[in-house]
Chains A and B, each alone.
Chain A
Amino acid sequence: MGTKRQFRIWRGDADGGDLQDYTVEVNEGEVVLDVIHRLQATDAPDLACRWNCKAGKCGSCSMEINGMPKLGCMTRMSTFEENETITVTPLRTFPIIRDLVTDVSFNYEKARETPAFAPPPDLAPGDYRMQQVDVERSQEFRKCIECFLCQNVCHVIRDHDENKQAFSGPRYFIRAAELDMHPLDTRTDRKDYAQTEQGLGFCNITKCCTEVCPEHIKITDNGIIPMKERVVDRRYDPLVWLGSKIFRRGQVPQTSVTSGHSPGAVRSSAAGGGVHSHAGGSHDAQAEVQAQQGVNWHREVPHPTAPAVDASGKLPLTELTFDRAAAPSPFGDDVTFPLPPEHLNFAHPDQDKPNH
């Protein structure tokens, strides 16, 4: 009753391996994990693959199916074309043990480093009172089944083993966020911890983690971004406080991280949020696209912005009160040099002829 389908499955261990071809029978209503199980029962009894509940609840059977990080048990065969070859590979971010099984101990190490829930010292068991609306924020993150797909897809560590030391990854950012939002957690340093110990600053909000989350947790929007915002709030709070002491009410200088906008500037970070940029430089997605098409004389270039000066015409910042040595960069603190060439509004007249 089934049809024959083509599979390519990565077989091997830490010393190397390659994709092997299999032809397997597939029946109506089956998922990729069923096919793996059929292979184990027939052609490949020693094919290594983790699984457990087979209902998308335990997060064991994480794998990359046609390059997409997914749960094998929740990927229905009917989502592929009849004649499509399905390629199954292990999670790329973690060291291989064998076949589809990887060493995910990185995640458990990071879990151990995250400070645990700190209960209120004087509250007896049974006396905890919380409102549903307050617990729901943390409950969203507690839906996490620890499949580590978000960790696998995160480009900060996906091909950068060297970052693993300093970066905990999305799973543990939402753990920190969950505890931060817990109505009765008594620690107040969750945000600082995320910034200084977990490497929250490495995240540049490409939302890949949210995209692959099988529990549809809004990791970026509800977890990482609020944590980042609060981190920013806290980092700049003392300055606001100091400013309010120095300046008269109503004259408190602008202290947001990005320099002030002028009306004509193209700012589309919200509208163009779908474009992934891993290259650094400008966060203006539309401008990036334009830049990549060659010289565009009509490109709307952000106007230079005036420094946010106070009533006396001076910058309110001194090195004493600012959070880093020396003055802020006139290009914005988030721009690093040299700029990536593809972001320059320039094409060599002979070499980079724009295609029309």
Chain B
Amino acid sequence: MTTTTTRIERHHYDVVVIGAGGAGLRAAIEARLAGKKTAIISKSLFGKAHTVMAEGGAAAAMGNVNSRDSWQVHFRDTMRGGKFLNNFRMAELHAKESPQRIWELETYGALFDRTKDGKISQRNFGGHEYPRLAHVGDRTGLELIRTLQQKIVSLQQEDKREHGSYDARIKVFSETTITELLLDGDRIAGAFGYYRESGEFVLFEAPAVVLATGGVGRSYKVTSNSWEYTGDGHALALRAGATLINMEFLQFHPTGMVWPPSVKGILVTESVRGDGGILKNSEGKRFMFDYVPDVFRKQYAETPEEADRWYDDPDNNRRPPELLPRDEVARAINSEVKAGRGTPAGGVYLDIASRLPADEIRRRLPSMHHQFKGLADVDITKEPMEVGPTCHYVMGGVEVDPDSGAAYGSVRGLFAAGEVSGGMHGSNRLGGNSLSDLLVFGKRAGGHAATYVDQLTGRPRVAVTAVETAVETALAPLQRDTGENPYTLQQDLQAVMGDLVGIIRREAELEDALARLAELRERVAKVSAAGGRRYNPGWHLALDLRNMLVVSECTAKAALERRESRGGHTREDFPTMDPQWRRVNLVCSLVGDAVRLERKPLPKMRSELIGLFDRAELAKYLTDEELTEFDALVAADAAAAATDADAEKENR
């Protein structure tokens, strides 16, 4: 009945990309280059996506600054950072392909900072053994998104010349939200949503959908994420029959602003530490030396003197502990504050002023200087910054085939790339790996979505009833006037997640969180939004809430299940890493509207890849059984090498 009273705009595309950040735009470029008619759906205006917030750079082993760098070293760093829970194949592809993806950006017009010999400059970053991050000052994300945006414009100009219309083969639907994926059996048939501007509904009929919707940070109060990060892609995938993995792993970036209160959570780039910034507690102590865990002891300096020499002579000195992976630094800051050695606003000091000349700070960290001056009235060339952990990134996401980005589970024609996909980063993401992740897997997902469309024999069809249901669900909050205000519900959800499913987790609190989320689910089902359909932010939030809620349930459930501490998941009651748990991924799926959790074994690393690691290092992560296997592998390799040598001798 609703379809008779509601106007629905219809479009036909080959590939619909949901999300217009780095991954989405890269996927769309690839699909269009493969000749597919492509739509890009963006919740914001074109070019405003959260990717602009990425500051530090894009990690790629180009070896421009230190020629010892290679994909193998990058792969090793990524696995180490993720505490060996990463999908090894994704980490491998990422390490191998990111240099090409960065170089490709230059052909689109990107202007990275340069080395003296004119190549792309690379900077140090937490967890990366060599300077590896291609960067543009501290606004690399902006450069990336602008470059991809302008590449899309250039493709549209080609289409205009050829077909007479900019939108002939690739069109951007800005300020458009997708609320539902529509299926034909187990195949994707389309996507349903609304224009934020007018509130009018729109239906995209398409056999392939690429999710590139980013993360879930808006479920937390202290977050560096924008309003768009409501876990839409995660929830759409679940409802379409796909699965999510690693949802218990959330990265809390160690350095978010803590003052003034209104900007609490906004990011202070890791480059501050990469360029010499140090962390001090309220007693003026450089405390990170006390927090180097055993697994990293070998790579990090033990004295401030050695650490300070490293900036100029990284080959002969070990790294400062301020550059430990993010989870370690976040936990260290948390401990200092809890021990009463925090700043008045509840953080610690990040000091660059006493470490670099003012001009150098302004040159290397222009947007940080700008941000602190503008938002906190603090001059970072004169005073230290106050920083503390902030919710930054979700490692978990749609479980995908590593090579194609196709979602696992029961659905076909659904792809995912970027933050919304899971596995690549394991239990903790290294800084700089997300920008290269976007490019590598964005391209792959776009390309494979195009291939999938090619091999289809018939087009899946959208069922009329499914569209009617989607319309009813979307209009429901506007038609109720007895329910609660969506903003209140969002605040309550943020309180539950921040207080009970935060950096440090406990069993009783997680159970409590699940009970409260169940209550919230009832309240969210009855939410009502005042006003009409034209650009009504209250209505938009009311529709986003159910996505935030289901994703939060996944996180809480998985966090309760995983009885160990690893990367972005810290259990006070199980404070150590457990090698048995390293072999397990927790997989979430939806049964009816309830979240189901299953254990699934991690894929086993190929022998030439595991051979890249020291036995001593592997011993910290692997079970005895796995180590025995590794020893056998090494022995077999040695024997094979000996036989080869013998054979060579005989041949002579």
Residues of chain A at the chain B interface (Cβ within 8 Å):
13, 27-31, 34, 40-41, 45-60, 74, 76, 78, 97-99, 101, 103-104, 108, 111-112, 114-117, 119, 123, 125-126, 128-132, 135, 138-139, 142-146, 179, 182, 185, 216
* B residues 478-495 touching A (CB-CB < 8 Å): 485-488, 491
**B114 near A130 (CB under 8 angstroms)?**
yes
Tell me if A28 and B226 are in contact (CB < 8 A): no
A29-B376, A54-B263, A142-B111 known; A45 vs B48 contact (CB < 8 Å)? no
Contacts of B370 in A (CB 8 A): 56, 216
A13 to B198 CA separation, bound complex (whole angstroms): 11
Which one of B117, B174, B262 contacts A129 once the chains associate, using CB atoms below 8 Å? Answer: B117
Answer yes or no: B106 CB below 8 A from chain A CBs: yes
Closest to A27 in B: B261
B109 on interface, CB distance cutoff 8 Å: yes
The answer on a CB contact under 8 Å between A143 and B114 is no
- Contact count A vs B, C-beta below 8 Å: 176
Residues of B within 8 A of A30 (CB): 260-262
Instruction: Given A30-B260, A99-B535, answer yes or no on A51-B111 (Cβ-Cβ < 8 Å).
Output: no
Instruction: Please tell me which one of the listed residues B228, B263, B377, B488 contacts residue A52 in the complex, with CB atoms under 8 A apart.
Output: B228
Q: Which residues of B contact A115 (CB under 8 A)?
A: 157
Q: List 19 A-B contacts (CB under 8 A).
A: A29-B262, A29-B263, A29-B376, A41-B491, A46-B536, A48-B536, A53-B52, A54-B266, A55-B53, A55-B266, A119-B108, A119-B109, A125-B100, A129-B119, A130-B118, A139-B111, A146-B48, A179-B109, A216-B370
Task: Determine the residue in chain B with the shortest Cβ distance to A215.
Answer: B370
**CA of A104 to CA of B44, assembled, Å:** 12
Please tell me if B313 contacts chain A, counting CB pairs below 8 Å: no
Nearest neighbor of B151 in chain A, beta-carbon distance: A116
Cβ-defined contact, A34 with B532, below 8 A: no
Q: Which residues of A have CB within 8 Å of B197?
A: 97, 101, 103
Q: Once the chains are docked, how many angstroms separate the CA of A182 from the CA of B150? A: 14
A57 to B44, CA, bound (A): 14
Contact in complex: A104, B45 (CB < 8 Å): yes
By beta carbon, the residue of chain B nearest A47 is B537
Q: Is B99 within 8 A of A49, CB to CB?
A: no
CA distance A185 to B111 in the complex (A): 11
Query: In the bound complex, how far is the Cα of B46 from the Cα of A117, in angstroms?
Result: 19
In the complex, the answer to whether A49 meets B262 with C-beta atoms within 8 Å is no
Q: Which of B104, B137, B139, B154 contacts A116 (CB 8 A)?
A: B154
Q: B455 interface residue, CB < 8 Å from A?
A: no
The answer to whether A52 touches B375, judged by C-beta atoms less than 8 angstroms apart, is no
Chain B residues contacting A142 (CB-CB under 8 Å) are 111, 136, 142-143, 146
**Which A residues lie within 8 Å of B201 (CB)?**
none
Main secondary structure of the interface of A (DSSP, over half): loop
User: Does B194 sit within 8 A of A, measured CB to CB?
Assistant: no
CA distance A34 to B265 in the complex (A): 14
- Report Cα–Cα, A135/B47, bound state, in Å: 22
The 3 closest A-B pairs by CB, nearest first: A29-B260, A46-B531, A116-B154
- Docked complex Cα distance between A125 and B111 (Å): 13
Name the one of B99, B109, B377 contacting A117, with C-beta atoms under 8 angstroms.
B109
> Which B residues are within 8 Å of any A CB, using their own CB?
44-48, 50, 52-53, 62, 99-100, 103-104, 106-109, 111-114, 117-119, 121, 136-137, 139, 142-143, 146, 150-151, 153-154, 156-157, 166, 174, 197, 226-228, 259-263, 266-267, 367, 370-371, 374-377, 485-488, 491, 529-532, 534-539
**A55 pairs with B267, CB closer than 8 A:** yes
Q: 15 additional contacts, CB 8 Å, given A103-B197, A182-B111?
A: A28-B261, A46-B539, A52-B227, A55-B267, A58-B44, A97-B197, A99-B535, A104-B45, A112-B156, A117-B150, A126-B99, A130-B114, A138-B111, A145-B142, A146-B48
Across the interface, do A52 and B226 meet the contact criterion of CB distance under 8 Å?
yes
Docked-complex contact B150 and A41, CB < 8 angstroms: no
Q: Which of A45, A97, A128 contacts B103 (CB 8 A)?
A: A128
Residue in A55, A97, A145 whose CB lies within 8 Å of B535: A97
If A47-B537, A52-B227, A97-B535 touch, does A125 touch B487 (CB 8 Å cutoff)?
no
Residues A116 and B262 in contact in the complex (CB < 8 Å), given A52-B48, A52-B227, A131-B114:
no
Question: Which residue on chain B has the smallest CB distance to residue A145?
Answer: B142
A41 to B488, CA, bound (A): 7
Task: Report Cα–Cα, A30/B107, bound state, in Å.
Answer: 42
**Interface contact A34-B262, CB-CB below 8 Å:** yes
Hey, which chain B residues are within 8 Å of A99, CB to CB?
A: 535
Contacts of B537 in A (CB 8 A): 40, 45-49
Q: In whole angstroms, what is the CA distance A198 to B62 when docked?
A: 39
Closest to A75 in B: B374
Shortest beta-carbon distance from A31 to chain B in Å: 6
Residue in A45, A53, A144 whose CB lies within 8 Å of B226: A53
- Given known A29-B263, A31-B375, A45-B529, contact A53–B50 (CB-CB < 8 A): yes
Which of A99, A130, A138 has its CB near the most chain B CB atoms (within 10 A)?
A130
Cα distance, A78 to B534, chains bound together (Å): 33
Q: A40-B537, A54-B266, A111-B153 are in contact. Are A129 and B259 (CB under 8 A)?
A: no
Chain A min CB distance to B98 (Å): 12
List chain A residues, Cβ under 8 A from B371. 55-56
A58 touches B107 (CB 8 A): no
A45 B139 Cβ-Cβ under 8 A = no
Give Cα A45 to B117, complex, Å.
55
A90 to chain B, nearest CB (A): 11
Contacts of B137 in A (CB 8 A): 139
Q: Shortest CB–CB separation between residue B292 and chain A, in angstroms?
A: 31
In chain B, what residue has the closest Cβ to A99? B535
Known pairs A30-B260, A55-B263; A132 contacts B538 (CB<8 A): no
Which residues of chain B have C-beta atoms less than 8 A from A131's C-beta?
114, 118
Assuming the contacts A117-B150, A135-B113, asked whether A57 and B262 have C-beta atoms less than 8 A apart, the reply is no
Q: Are A117 and B114 in contact (CB under 8 A)?
A: no
Q: Point out the residues of chain A lying under 8 angstroms from B260, CB to CB.
A: 28-30
Shortest CB distance B108–A (Å): 7
Q: Is the CB of A58 within 8 A of B375?
A: no
B375 touches A76 (CB 8 A): yes
Q: Which residues of A contact B52 (CB under 8 A)?
A: 53, 57-58, 145
Residues in B with CB closer than 8 Å to A31 are 262-263, 375
List of A residues within 8 angstroms of B45 by Cβ: 50, 60, 104
Closest to B141 in A: A57
Q: Are A55 and B375 in contact, with the CB atoms below 8 A?
A: yes
